[in-house]
Amino acid sequence: MKQSAVQQSNRRAYPRSSAGDGGGVAAPADGSVFKSPGVIFWPAFHVLCCLVSAAAGFRFSRLLFLLLFSPLAPSSSSSFPRQHLRLPLVRQQPATALPSLLPPPAVLPPPPPPNSKSLASSRVVVGRHGIRVRPWPHPDPAEVARAHEILARVQQEQRLQYGVKDPRPILVVTPTYARTFQALHLTGLLHSLMLVPHPLTWLVVEAGGLSNETSAILSSSLVPVLQLPFREQMPVVWSDRHRLEARMRLYALRVIRERRLDGIVLFADDSNVHTMELFDEIQKVEWMGAVSVGILAHSAAPETPSRKQQREGDKENSHLPIQGPACNSSGHLIGWHTFNTLPYAKKAAIFVGEGVIVLPSKLEWSGFVINSRLLWKEAEGKPNWVRDLDDVGINGEEIESPLDLLKDATLVEPLGNCGKKVMLWWLRAEARYDSKFPTRWVIDPRLEIIVPAKRTPWPEAPPDLVFQQMADDEEHTREHVSKKSKSSRSKNSYRKKKKREANVNTQVSDLSIADVK
């Protein structure tokens, strides 16, 4: 394509001169009128034009004839719609060697073709045409909206043709509780789930019972939400919190089992980040699958000295830690990549809201997807390497990861090109556990203390503030000028100075006004 563009552009660069033509367009029959004096005059004129063109660097003859013969104002090509300057297409008599002539002005009728051989039926003519520009060359919003509709429909069709066929519904399990950052995380997850093109049901398990905050955020959801209250309160210590979240997820799985909800269970923590490809990839799972999770454990951490050393010393270690399935070369699951927490054990956060890194557990729940039929009491084709859900979690048994639901963990399917593709990221970012936030993030009633902004001229300023203003003005006028607001301010202060008759300030304000003028 480069070649063709270059060819198209440069195709006549060299031979224009070799063709020996100053302007190169066939002349109309006007040439016949000038035949007798033209024998001497026109070639000489032609030579003159060529010389001037060589000097000026463009085809001067065209411009000259445009100025001489055209009644229109000479103008460059764009900016307003023009008539065609049409050159009728005629067979040139080989003997004439006339320079280019733009067509005669629109007043005269176009010259008749000299020979009867001209192509009367040709609508498309060679020669200079006007460049048509419409008066308002900007997009029309209604058309833009239509274009976006077209794009959306085309993409939907692409998904139907090439994407996932017969998508199974997805059951998203999210443990949450009301806290400062809940709105941030839950709204993000909500919008991600609303973008998923497959049928979705969202099971939100809330610690501490149903709260108004959560309901308020979920009320704007377009996906069906099942809110499940959970009696216990969310603890403050991270390790206890992980355990409670596991119990909450198990509770949701029990609900799925009771109601025989059908679909693929995805564990989406509210602070995690998911890509759309994840939702397409999990459609491939048969019974239980595992995906790779990128661990963003360092995101909340300030620069610790050891980390700096580590980065300077060994660049390769700063890869993103990933938890997920490990495969051998033939694509079979042989083990698990986990996050090595030992180097950070001393600096890890214990309480929610400390400003240090939060460590994930060995295998995060969010890296696993389960076919809900695994959880049902009775299901066709249910494999026997799954423990019955009623037997799990009783008598104080702690469930750390979904692998504890299985008798045989080797039959988990690795997804995402055998774990090579990372499609979601684990992240925990929380404010202090006792931090306060306005309910539903609405400031109502209005705040009680009102403080004026520093640079706003305040009409009813109390007397002590005027001194502050004058001091500011001095700074500003010394810095730079030519802003109307400053001039008005200085005028203000000038007026005030006049009242007070302070010499220094008057001079300064005089200066400022003079400068502005």
Partner 1 sequence: MAGGFRVLPLLILCSLFQGILGEEHQPNRPTERISGSAGDVLEDDPVGRLKVFVYELPSKYNKKILQKDPRCLNHMFAAEIYMHRFLLSSAVRTSNPEEADWFYTPVYTTCDLTPNGLPLPFKSPRMMRSAIELISTTWPYWNRTEGADHFFITPHDFGACFHYQEEKAIERGILHLLKRATLVQTFGQRNHVCLKDGSIVIPPYAPPQKMQAHLIPPDTPRSIFVYFRGLFYDVGNDPEGGYYARGARASVWENFKNNPLFDISTEHPTTYYEDMQRAVFCLCPLGWAPWSPRLVEAVVFGCIPVVIADDIVLPFADAIPWEEIGVFVAEEDVPKLDTILTSIPIEVILRKQRLLANPSMKQAMLFPQPAQSRDAFHQILNGLARKLPHEESVYLKSGQKILNWTAGPKGDLKPW
147 counts as binding partner 1 under rule CB under 8 A: yes
Strand ranges of the sheet holding 368-371, from the earlier edge strand across to the other edge: 225-230, 200-207, 170-176, 264-267, 368-371, 288-290, 413-414
Residue 76 or 384 with smaller CB distance to partner 1? 76
26 counts as binding partner 1 under rule CB under 8 A: yes
CB of 120 to partner 1, least distance (A): 9
Whether 314 contacts 306, CB under 8 Å: no
Residue 197 or 229 with smaller CB distance to partner 1? 197
68 counts as binding partner 1 under rule CB under 8 A: no
Which residue intervals of 222-270 are DSSP H helices? 238-259
Q: d(Cα 206, Cα 228) in Å, to the nearest integer?
A: 6
Integer CA distances (angstroms), 195 to 163, 232, 275, 347, 369, in order: 15, 32, 10, 38, 19
Per 3-state DSSP, what percentage of the chain is helix, strand, and coil (rounded to 5)? 40, 10, 50
8 counts as binding partner 1 under rule CB under 8 A: yes
CB of 164 to partner 1, least distance (A): 9
407 counts as binding partner 1 under rule CB under 8 A: no
Question: Which range of residues in 28-36, 42-50, 150-158, 444-452 is near partner 1 by CB under 8 A?
Answer: 150-158
Question: Which residues are paired to 299 by β-bridges?
Answer: none
Residue 447 token pair: 């705040």
CB of 152 to partner 1, least distance (A): 9
3-state class of 387 per DSSP?
A: coil
Helical packing angle, 35-56 and 60-69, nearest 10°: 120
Whether 109 contacts 7, CB under 8 Å: no
129 counts as binding partner 1 under rule CB under 8 A: yes
Size of the site for partner 1 (CB under 8 A): 66
CB of 291 to partner 1, least distance (A): 19
CB of 15 to partner 1, least distance (A): 8
Whether 266 contacts 172, CB under 8 Å: yes
Residue 135 or 459 with smaller CB distance to partner 1? 135
Interface map 449-488 toward partner 1 (x if CB under 8 A): ----------------------------------------
Interface map 85-104 toward partner 1 (x if CB under 8 A): x---x-xx-x----------
146 counts as binding partner 1 under rule CB under 8 A: yes
- Which string of DSSP letters, residue by residue, matches 425-488? EE------TT----GGG---S--S-----TTS--TT--HHHHHHHHHHHHHHHHH----HHHHH
19 counts as binding partner 1 under rule CB under 8 A: yes
CB of 17 to partner 1, least distance (A): 12
CB of 132 to partner 1, least distance (A): 5
50 counts as binding partner 1 under rule CB under 8 A: no
Which of 36, 39, 44, 134 forms a contact with partner 1 (CB under 8 A)?
134
384 counts as binding partner 1 under rule CB under 8 A: no
Q: d(Cα 506, Cα 427) in Å, to the nearest integer?
A: 60
55 counts as binding partner 1 under rule CB under 8 A: no
Integer CA distances (angstroms), 157 to 150, 154, 278, 282, in order: 11, 5, 20, 21
Residue 483 token pair: 């802003």
73 counts as binding partner 1 under rule CB under 8 A: no
Which of 73, 138, 445, 484 forms a contact with partner 1 (CB under 8 A)?
138
Residue 202 token pair: 């969202």
Q: How many residues does the chain have?
A: 517
Question: Which range of residues in 160-168, 358-366, 381-389, 425-433 is near partner 1 by CB under 8 A?
Answer: 160-168
Strand ranges of the sheet holding 273-274, from the earlier edge strand across to the other edge: 273-274, 422-426, 292-295, 322-327, 333-337
Listed residue (292, 253, 286, 261) closest to 274, CA to CA: 292
Residue 61 or 272 with smaller CB distance to partner 1? 61
CB of 262 to partner 1, least distance (A): 24
Which of 37, 55, 58, 436 forms a contact with partner 1 (CB under 8 A)?
58
163 counts as binding partner 1 under rule CB under 8 A: yes
**Which residues make up the interface to partner 1 (CB under 8 A)?**
1-16, 19, 24-26, 58-59, 62-63, 76-78, 85, 89, 91-92, 94, 119, 121-124, 126-134, 137-140, 143-144, 146-147, 149-151, 153-155, 157-159, 161-163
